[in-house]
């Protein structure tokens, strides 16, 4: 796989979330996953499973409790990916 | 947001999900007549939504044992197993569970929920890993949360996904507890235990199997999936409940690991709660004795399950992947599920309505459960009603 960057993960997340939520506004790094996107926990967990496969990582469910914005999620994925190398 | 407003918000979300559907949850049962019939809203209703798999809730042996225990030992123990609540009945039941599973020892808990909470939180701690099936019961999730371990889900019943996640863990796989269920409570399907056991050995992990819905249902003597697959001694910890086929309330964990006994001193859900009442223990002991030799009841249960499963499949319903005492009808949305549930109630049939997030993957389910006391006529009637409702729905 190509070198994974924080920005790359962020971009991918914004793309995937746009498709998933049909939001009528632009999703950015600061978008709140729960209050602004109203993404339910099942959709979020499914998206995370997809991302896990994409980056060959496992994201612990309990790590998600600190995730509020899209950037938080991207940071978490980046951190796990870096640690797994 | 204030503490109470959070509850208001949850209530609003529930109402918005399914206006008019609130009545389906916690429906008041006015009188219970037998393992298959009750009075609800003044009407006699057929019960097709219990966990009473062997139909033992009115067994005369169990009732007599409970009566005698109340007379001899009183109504409650008023204390923990670690203090004044450790009666000879509790210890005898533990010996009987160990004997039943041909295992070294067992621990009895006050509920099945606590059996999972107590076992998982005693085994795992911060830095360890709980690798759990994505469809796991809430007691498994909550036990993992209580433990402080990292919780990683694998795709439901997907051995390749499990293997991928074990591989990703590297050395941490040796500090990992894999958790699966004998029969899954929502879709009624069984875990691929042979594959899971192979993987846990290959990666040096431990395995816990919750036999809540498979006890009494699978295996020659009713041990559950461990017996059906002959893997009794390959599973590190088996948990289960008295609240389903044993028709009581309580839970257990059995194991061949000598460390099991040590759990009594570290497991809060074991220590900081009162022990099961004498009547509960006595009835459960009587029920376990019946369950072990209930080959005929198991045969009838499976005939009944297959009758309903194949009838519903023929009608065209989308069902869980394999026949069993839990027959789950999978619907596209909560409205359809509620319509079906209401249709069944109108025809005097009670089943379970299960909506997201309780049902896996955002599905809505009408969950029927079968027991050994159902007659072929009752099952035929339910199939007929469901056939008419199918036409209305489509
Ligand atoms: C898979 C599973 N585990 C554990 C439990 C908890 O059992 P109990 O009712 O004894 O608390 C249940 C019951 O709801 C269950 O379905």
pLDDT digits (tens, 9 = 90+) for A29-48: 888 887 777 777 777 888 88
- CB contact, 8 Å: A61 with chain B? yes
Cβ–Cβ gap A56/B152 under 8 Å: no
CA distance B239 to B221: 17
Residues 6+ apart with CB under 8 A from B7: none
**Atom number, ligand 1, closest to the C-alpha of residue B251:** 10
Q: Which residues of B touch A62 (CB under 8 A)?
A: 144-145, 150-151
Q: Give the mean pLDDT of chain B.
A: 96
Distance CA B303, CA B325 (A): 10
Position B340 pLDDT exceeds 60: yes
More reliable by pLDDT, B361 or B10: B10
Provide CB contacts within 8 A for A11, sequence distance 6+: none
Q: Which residues of B touch A46 (CB under 8 A)?
A: 361
Mutation to probe ligand 1, out of B50, B137, B187 (largest number of atoms < 8 A from CB)? B137
* Cα distance between residue B191 and residue B308, in whole Å: 22
What would the mean pLDDT of B96-101 be, rounded to a whole number?
98
The residue to which tokens 């994409």 are assigned? A54
Q: What gap in Å lies between CA B87 and CA B275, rounded to an integer?
A: 9
The DSSP letter of residue A18 is H
Record: contact A42-B362, CB cut-off 8 A: yes
- CATH fold match for the domains B20-54+295-393 and B60-292: no
Ligand 1: lining residues by beta carbon, under 6 Å: B 111-113, 116, 137, 139, 181, 185, 210, 212-213, 241, 243, 251
Across B15-21, average pLDDT:
74
Confidence (pLDDT) at B25:
84
Q: What is the ipTM of this complex?
A: 0.88
State whether residue A32 sits within 8 Å of chain B by CB: no
Dist. CA B11–CA B28, nearest whole Å: 20
pLDDT of residue B357: 77
How far off is chain A from B362, nearest CA to CA, in Å? 6
Measured between beta carbons, the chain B residues lying within 8 angstroms of A63 are 150
**What's the CA-to-centroid distance between B233 and ligand 1, angstroms?**
23
0.90 exceeded by pTM: yes
Tell the residue nearest (CA) to atom 10 of ligand 1: B112
Under 8 Å between Cβ of A81 and A55 = yes
Q: Where are the domains of chain B?
A: 20-54+295-393, 60-292
Q: In angstroms, rounded to a whole number, what is the distance separating the alpha carbons of residues B168 and B22? A: 43
Q: Residue B207: enclosing H or E segment and its boundaries?
A: strand B206-210
B367-380 confidence digits (pLDDT tens): 999 999 999 999 99
Question: Of 1.10.3720.10, 3.90.79.10, 3.50.4.10, 1.10.1200.10, which CATH number belongs to A6-83?
Answer: 1.10.1200.10
Chain A environment of B125 (Cβ under 8 Å): none
Under CATH, what is the fold of the domain B60-292?
A: 3.40.640
Domain ranges in chain A?
A: 6-83
Q: Which of residues 109-138 of B touch A (CB under 8 A)?
A: 129, 134
The percentage of residues in chain B with a pLDDT greater than 90, rounded to a whole number, is 91
Fold adopted by B20-54+295-393: 3.90.1150
Q: What stretches of chain B show up as alpha helix (H) in DSSP?
A: 3-17, 60-73, 88-100, 112-123, 138-147, 159-169, 193-203, 225-228, 263-266, 268-271, 278-292, 295-315, 334-346, 376-393
Mean pLDDT of each 10-residue bin along chain A, 85 residues long: 80 86 81 79 83 93 90 94 84
């Amino acid at each position: 796989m190509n070198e994974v960057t924080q920005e790359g993960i962020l971009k991918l997340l914004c793309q995937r979330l746009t498709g998933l939520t049909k939001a009528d506004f632009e999703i950015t790094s600061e978008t709140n996953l729960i209050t602004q996107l109203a993404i339910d926990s099942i959709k979020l967990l499914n998206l995370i499973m997809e991302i896990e496969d994409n980056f060959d990582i496992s994201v612990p469910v309990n790590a998600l409790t600190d995730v509020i914005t899209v950037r938080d999620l991207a940071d978490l994925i980046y951190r796990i990916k870096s640690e797994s190398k | 947001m204030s503490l109470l407003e959070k509850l208001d918000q949850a209530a609003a979300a529930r109402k918005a999900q399914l206006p008019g559907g609130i009545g389906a949850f916690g429906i008041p049962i006015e009188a219970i007549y037998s393992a298959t019939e009750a009075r609800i809203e003044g009407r006699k209703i057929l019960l097709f939504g219990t966990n009473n798999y062997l139909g033992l809730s009115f067994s005369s042996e169990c009732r007599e044992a409970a009566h005698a225990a109340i007379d001899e030992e009183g109504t409650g123990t008023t204390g923990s197993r670690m203090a004044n609540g450790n009666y000879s009945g509790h210890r005898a039941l533990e010996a009987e569970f160990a004997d039943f599973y041909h295992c070294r020892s067992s621990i009895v808990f006050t509920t099945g929920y606590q059996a999972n909470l107590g076992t998982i939180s005693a085994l795992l701690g911060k830095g360890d890993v709980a690798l759990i099936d994505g469809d796991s019961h809430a007691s498994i999730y909550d036990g993992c949360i209580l433990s402080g371990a990292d919780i990683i889900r694998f795709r439901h019943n997907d051995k390749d996904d499990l293997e991928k996640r074990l591989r990703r863990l590297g050395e941490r796989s040796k500090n990992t507890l894999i958790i699966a269920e004998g029969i899954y409570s929502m879709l009624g399907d069984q875990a691929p235990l042979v594959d899971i056991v192979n993987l846990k050995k290959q990666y040096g992990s431990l395995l816990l199997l919750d036999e809540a819905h498979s006890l009494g249902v699978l295996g020659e003597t009713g041990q559950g999936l461990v017996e059906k697959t002959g893997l009794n001694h390959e599973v590190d910890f088996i948990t289960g409940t008295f609240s389903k086929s044993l028709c009581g309330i309580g839970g257990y964990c059995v194991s061949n690991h000598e460390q099991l006994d040590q759990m009594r001193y570290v497991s809060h859900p074991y220590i900081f709660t009162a022990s099961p009442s004498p009547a509960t223990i006595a009835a459960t002991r009587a029920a376990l004795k019946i369950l072990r030799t209930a080959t005929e009841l198991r045969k009838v249960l499976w005939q009944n399950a297959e009758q309903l499963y194949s009838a519903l499949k023929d009608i065209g319903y989308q069902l869980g992947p394999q026949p069993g005492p839990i027959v789950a009808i999978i619907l596209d949305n909560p409205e359809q599920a509620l319509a079906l549930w209401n249709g069944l109630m109108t025809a005097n049939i009670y089943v379970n309505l299960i909506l997201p997030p309780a049902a896996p993957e955002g599905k809505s389910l009408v969950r029927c459960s079968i027991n050994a006391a159902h007659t072929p006529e009752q099952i035929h009637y339910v199939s007929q009603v469901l056939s008419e409702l199918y036409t209305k729905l489509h």
